[in-house]
């Protein structure tokens, strides 16, 4: 069974619009970590955030915010006032602390196109 | 943050040749390194987990005789694609794990783009 689901394959927005990228995960571990990474065309993964399963506080970092809800197994990512430089593929990932030596399970990614 | 490098960043080779990709943790020691493969417009798929001084653990469906992994030191893991074929063309990414407090931090390399002609 897929552990991380990113249902949105591709999203296109116009600059300055807000956009939310969805991520739903599945795990039996009580201790786990969730991540978001940005992958620009160069290919290098850019770390955005890590959240552990015991911390459900939402987080804001500049134009980025994350909404973690254990009740719905979701970890959504919102970009406020999007910019062209935000165009990239965004991956949500899960790492289970107790099983599998912290292997990362990546979602299929959401390609974000921000048009000027 | 910790830095992981990969060499080469891109490589083009002829079908049937072998290609070696290096993954190095530059400023920390990594007991475990992971190798991922990413086909165009697809997600990263874990190929194998590599522990220093022991044999790599391969994910289901990954041919261990084709993708040779050596983790000879705490700062270097290598992936050798043997007898490469065009279908092996992909983006290969490594990551290195280090214990940071109670959490095992994982840092990703910049990736190596392999094209097999």
pLDDT tens profile B14-35: 999 999 999 999 988 888 899 9
Q: For testing the chain A interface, which of B4, B6, B42, B44 should be mutated: the one with the most A CBs within 10 Å? A: B44
CB A53 within 8 A of CB A32: yes
Q: How far apart are the first and last CA of chain A?
A: 38
| Cα–Cα dist B77/B112, whole Å | 14
Q: What is the pLDDT of residue A46?
A: 93
Asked if residue B106 lies in contact with residue B2, where contact means CB atoms within 8 angstroms, the answer is no
pLDDT of residue B51: 86
| Separation CA A25–CA A34 (nearest Å) | 9
Q: Do B108 and A45 touch (CB under 8 A)?
A: yes
Q: Which residues of A touch B108 (CB under 8 A)?
A: 37, 44-45, 47
Cβ neighbour number for residue B54 with a 10 Å cutoff: 8
- Quote the tokens at residue A3: 């552990």
- pLDDT score at A1: 58
Contacts of B36 in chain A (CB under 8 A): 104
- Find out whether B111 and B21 touch, Cβ atoms under 8 Å: no
Closest chain A CA to residue B107: A47
Determine contact, residues A59/A41, Cβ cutoff 8 Å.
Answer: no
What is the mean pLDDT, run by run of 10 residues, along chain A of 116 residues?
A: 89 98 93 93 92 88 95 96 97 79 86 97
What confidence tier does B2 reach under pLDDT thresholds 50, 70, 90?
confident
Whole-number pLDDT of residue A96: 82
Q: CA separation (Å) from B37 to A58, A73, B25, B78, B90?
A: 32, 27, 19, 14, 7
Instruction: Please name the residues in contact with B61: beta carbons below 8 A apart, sequence gap of 6 or more.
Output: none
What's the Cα-to-Cα distance from B25 to each of A107, B22, B65, rounded to whole Å?
A: 25, 10, 25
Asked if the Cβ–Cβ distance from B106 to A95 is below 8 Å, we say yes
Inter-chain CB proximity A104 and B93 less than 8 Å: no
User: Residue B44: CB partners within 8 Å, gap ≥ 6?
Assistant: A91, A104, A106, B36, B37, B38, B93
Summarize the confidence of residues B93-99 as an average pLDDT.
87
Structure tokens at B19: 């290609």
The C-alpha atoms of residue A49 and residue A91 are separated, in whole angstroms, by 11
Give the residue from B8, B39, B41, B43 with the most A CB atoms within 10 Å of its CB, the best one to mutate.
B43
pLDDT of residue B98: 79
Q: What is the mean pLDDT of residues B46-64?
A: 90
């Amino acid at each position: 069974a897929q552990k991380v689901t990113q249902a949105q394959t591709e999203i296109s927005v116009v600059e300055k619009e807000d956009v939310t990228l969805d991520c739903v995960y599945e795990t039996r571990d009580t201790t786990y970590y969730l991540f978001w990474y940005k992958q620009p065309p160069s290919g290098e993964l850019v770390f955005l955030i890590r959240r552990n399963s015991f911390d459900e506080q939402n987080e804001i970092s500049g134009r980025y915010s994350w909404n973690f809800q254990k009740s719905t197994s979701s970890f959504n990512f919102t970009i406020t006032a999007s910019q062209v430089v935000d165009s990239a593929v965004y991956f949500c990932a899960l790492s289970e602390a107790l099983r599998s030596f912290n292997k990362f399970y990546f979602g299929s990614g959401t390609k974000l196109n921000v048009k000027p | 943050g910790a830095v992981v490098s990969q060499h080469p960043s891109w490589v083009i080779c002829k079908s049937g040749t072998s290609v070696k990709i290096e993954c190095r943790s530059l400023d920390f020691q990594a007991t475990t390194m992971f190798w991922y493969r990413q086909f165009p417009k697809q997600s990263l798929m874990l190929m194998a987990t590599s522990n220093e001084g022991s044999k790599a653990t391969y994910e289901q469906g990954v041919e261990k005789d084709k993708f040779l992994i050596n983790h000879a030191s705490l700062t270097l893991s290598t992936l050798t694609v043997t007898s490469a074929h065009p279908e092996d063309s992909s983006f290969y990414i490594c990551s290195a794990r280090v214990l940071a407090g109670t959490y095992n931090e994982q840092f990703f390399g910049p990736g190596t783009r392999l094209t097999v002609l």
